[in-house]
A and B are shown apart, each in its own frame.
Chain A
């Protein structure tokens, strides 16, 4: 069971105290040049990496704020936790031991 620390209210808890919101940094596309956006790509295509993934979580039993964590999908290590609209660590993969 993951242990997560909310970067907003600083509360530390089990993953059951939070809710998962899928891959982060996927933004709602708009109309470009009068063409409707590529919805299939936005809705259904995810990177699903073997390695570090940025993902959204909500502090659902705490401050109810969304935030982003960088999780290694194999080791489950959480390398960084940051608020929305903050940028992740530039080279997180460098921090991970090769798995």
Chain B
């Protein structure tokens, strides 16, 4: 197979084809076509070598896109690589090394890249300006989802994988003194200077090869070429134990306090040979030096987006690195000396240079002389007026050039097959700006250059707009030394550069000062001058944005989508700023830039996620007797951070049957509920009562030893934070119980108030949630069961009152017994040290076996408490609920001088504004159970304005054989029997408000003893 654009091996073998190994032949496929390549090629260079210029289609107009640039800043070359589960969409062809058997495919076209049907959008581009889709597809509203689905087919980049990403990722952490970002000449010198000064250095670079662009720039340092000099420098650094080199690693974001995120691409490089696809580095550096270099900018002229138009530096990179000629006959359009370097290299490589079109009025120097000596035609003050292509719009046939200014009207048509363009070199300032670094427009070199200083960060080299090599090396050496001094926090004597650079050292290079120019274009031509090549934003779009009032650079970006493409405007933002300034007739400096946000290059979600082991990384807390539950058919769910039984389905019985039988057991016999997840906090110390009185809204001080009470905890604005039982075991020992999901919150709340507001109170706050298992035994048979529990003194229970608390025993283990019940039935709660939990559970189940005891899950417990109208914090309340809304105003003390929330409760919003109150709801249809959170309306029509509340708890109650719900409803709609309408999947269902209890005390199985009349 012939490879038409590969430069022969005999041409300058020591300069051309540096990265490829012609002995190692590789074959991969692009769009099912086999492509021959050499080891060391990128997909982009291999495709260019084979004359495949079109690589993808643009975002909106589906115009053909090729290779503009060589690196991560290329706007057009997104392809998908791999097959099946390991396919990766939106990979840059310019950044992907080839490997044998690799499968790659173009994106955003149908049925094929060349014959993409959507390419006809280009013919009507005049009628598809910026904002077209937003303006056109607005009405009618109900069709908007349809529009979205259809338009989506034409727009966009790659397609997502439908299956789980099989690649593996990991995170690494690194702490260094000095982090150098960028491994070009400047970065290498910084790393060397900093490490020689004694700092621990890490150097990251986006490319697999360190040395940056030293291979494509001529010039000598110490009588060797820049590339050889860089190589020696890399060798020295690699041997230095204080330097950590990270090639193939892109620093994507700079965050506060010297925190840098960098992404290392590991696969495809035999040297790493690890199974990880990408590695995310989280680097914390005491000082960061940005040596990120500069990006060459394209020029603006009609049809400047056709494949075959390459940045000048890209052409040099293709020739020098991969021995690839972009074409046979080239025209060079330049605004600086860079184009001349490219011309000379092309001559050396045997590629015909037809003409240099130089936008400058005049230029002279060694480079110009050399080019002239080769007999190449140069026209100054001229520009490209038109690019003429074949019918497919993919291959350049000729260009029309003419004068840049004036109206001489003399035009020349030149046959050629590729164009080299070179605007200015724009410093890569993204990371500088991530942390708020400032920029300034530099009119001399036409770029935004960094100004000012930043903590823990400096910027050197061409990223700092220093391009002359001798200046750059010196600045970088100083920068590296200063960085080490800053990082180590001491003065260090500046080490002598190992490369002996001084003013007298001969460095040959020339200035690369550029300017942005734009061809004179007519209105007609504005539609084909592309500023953002990926997103198809033309000068006409920018003008439209300005006309319609989106003239600010940030507005323009949102309106036209310029700079929003996957390249984030690396080759378009600067040109856009110049155009905007032109339109608005103001200096470019006043236009400013859009905000630079991380990431610098796109990051995969998998990389951000890191390693995903088979087991879930989020661990749920386990009940102490979880094994028993699992063995006995418990269906577990994660509730409030705990893995808890929802219900027990031992013989694979249906969920609803299981729950019903559990509820019936509590109401008629006995049920045992594992409430070990309840938060348990011990408050110890002489000031415990005083402290609790300050934090709880309920009065606690007077609570006698051996008694408990129900208390509510408010926050300062008076809304409910949590509720629970507070028991006093000793004068100076309280145990407070919190809602399962709130145990951490309450602990932090108490701790915070103790530390910040009342540090003088002598109190210890200790969480004992995990130390005690907590079982709730309830139902009419409770007493009988406990009578046969070994070591338990049931006499104490028999004479006990509701809300009594005492200590008892199970065999010889201490038990804390609490006479409370969350189900409304007669019952006790037993606390036992966790290590004895299963023994007690089994003993209780055994003791109750004859008495039809059943284990109870969370579902049954919630139904039971809803039947008797008990609320669950965070379910029936939200962050706006005050105690009076849910009928808990009795728990708020009037007599206490102060407590958290006392004055918050009397805010206007709580007293004078209409409130939502908790009510019972009975649906008209007894079997229809509303969904949690279902909106409630005052009439049967669903309209946003008619919402008067929402359902908070809803269950089917087997005790009264109908659906019951609790709801928060606006108070003016509340009266006994009021008709409301609850939203459900189809329309609404009617229901009545119920203000009294759902079931009677007898139905609930409350205490048979008269002394317990007040409670259960």
Question: What residues of chain A have their CB less than 8 Å away from a CB belonging to chain B?
Answer: 1-3, 14, 19, 21, 27-31, 36-37, 39-40, 42-43, 56, 58, 60, 64-66, 74-78, 84-85
Contacts and interface: CB of A to CB of B under 8 A. Distances in A.
B716 A43 contact: yes
B256 A64 contact: no
Interface stretch (B78-86, B898-906, B975-983): B898-906
Given A36-B903, A75-B436, A1 B752 contact: no
Given A66-B755, A77-B455, A39 B259 contact: no
A62 to B, nearest CB: 13
A36 B257 CA distance: 43
Nearest to A28: B757
Given A30-B898, A39-B904, A76-B257, 17 more contacts: A1-B256, A1-B257, A21-B752, A28-B716, A29-B903, A36-B906, A39-B716, A39-B907, A40-B907, A56-B756, A58-B752, A60-B748, A64-B751, A65-B755, A76-B435, A84-B756, A84-B759
Contact of A1 (B255, B751, B759, B897): B255
B752 A66 contact: yes
Contacts of A77: 455
Nearest to A38: B903
Q: Which 7 pairs across A and B sit closest by C-beta, in order of nearness? A: A76-B256, A3-B257, A1-B259, A66-B755, A39-B903, A36-B903, A2-B256
B757 A27 contact: yes
Contacts of B255: 1
B717 interface: yes
A36 B435 CA distance: 45
Interface residues of B, number: 24
A66 B756 contact: yes
Nearest to B454: A75
B284 interface: yes
Contacts of A30: 898
Given A27-B757, A65-B755, A74 B256 contact: no
B903 A3 contact: no
Contacts of B755: 65-66, 84
18 contacts: A3-B257, A3-B258, A14-B259, A21-B752, A27-B757, A30-B898, A31-B897, A36-B903, A37-B903, A39-B716, A39-B907, A40-B907, A43-B904, A56-B756, A75-B455, A84-B755, A84-B759, A85-B759
Contacts of A21: 752
A8 to B, nearest CB: 10
A46 to B, nearest CB: 14
Nearest to A99: B436
Contacts of A29: 903
A51 B284 CA distance: 24
Interface string B690-732: 0000000000000000000000000011000000000000000
A14 B906 CA distance: 40
Contacts of A65: 755
Contacts of B435: 76
Nearest to B752: A66
Nearest to B257: A3
Contacts of B284: 3
Contacts of A27: 757
Nearest to A39: B903
A77 B318 CA distance: 45
A30 B752 CA distance: 18
B70 to A, nearest CB: 33
A56 B259 CA distance: 22
Contacts of A78: 257
Interface string B167-201: 00000000000000000000000000000000000
A41 to B, nearest CB: 11
Contacts of B455: 75, 77
A26 to B, nearest CB: 10
A64 B749 CA distance: 12
B609 to A, nearest CB: 16
A93 B866 CA distance: 57
Interface in B747-791: 748, 751-752, 755-757, 759
Interface string B623-662: 0000000000000000000000000000000000000000
Interface in B239-295: 255-259, 284
Given A66-B752, A66-B756, A2 B717 contact: no
Contacts of B751: 64
B252 to A, nearest CB: 14
Nearest to A72: B455
Contacts of B898: 30-31
Interface in B417-446: 435-436
Contacts of A56: 756
B787 to A, nearest CB: 44
A46 B954 CA distance: 40
Contacts of B258: 3
- Counting chain B CB atoms within 10 Å of each CB, the highest count among A29, A39, A84 belongs to A39
Contacts of B906: 36, 39
Nearest to A29: B903
A1 B260 CA distance: 9
Nearest to A74: B436
Contact of A43 (B257, B717, B757, B759): B717
A39 B455 CA distance: 40
Contacts of B748: 19, 58, 60
Nearest to B754: A66
- Counting chain A CB atoms within 10 Å of each CB, the highest count among B436, B898, B903, B906 belongs to B903
Contacts of A76: 256-257, 435
A4 to B, nearest CB: 9
A2 to B, nearest CB: 5
A10 B239 CA distance: 36
Nearest to A77: B455
Nearest to A66: B755
Nearest to B436: A74
Contacts of A31: 897-898
Nearest to B898: A30
Nearest to B256: A76
A60 B747 CA distance: 12
B487 to A, nearest CB: 14
Contacts of B259: 1, 3, 14
Given A30-B898, A39-B904, A2 B436 contact: no
A75 B255 CA distance: 11
B748 to A, nearest CB: 8
Contacts of B897: 31
A40 B435 CA distance: 35
A12 B284 CA distance: 13
Contacts of A19: 748
B276 to A, nearest CB: 23
Contacts of A28: 716, 757
Nearest to A15: B256
Nearest to B753: A28
A9 to B, nearest CB: 14
Contacts of B756: 56, 66, 84
- Counting chain B CB atoms within 10 Å of each CB, the highest count among A28, A31, A42 belongs to A28
A28 B716 CA distance: 9
B175 to A, nearest CB: 10
A43 to B, nearest CB: 5
Contacts of A39: 716-717, 903-904, 906-907
A52 to B, nearest CB: 14
A84 B716 CA distance: 20
A88 to B, nearest CB: 15
A2 B904 contact: no
Nearest to B284: A3
B147 to A, nearest CB: 41
Contacts of A42: 716
A80 to B, nearest CB: 15
A58 B751 CA distance: 10
B257 A2 contact: yes
Interface in B819-836: none
A90 B311 CA distance: 57
A94 B959 CA distance: 72
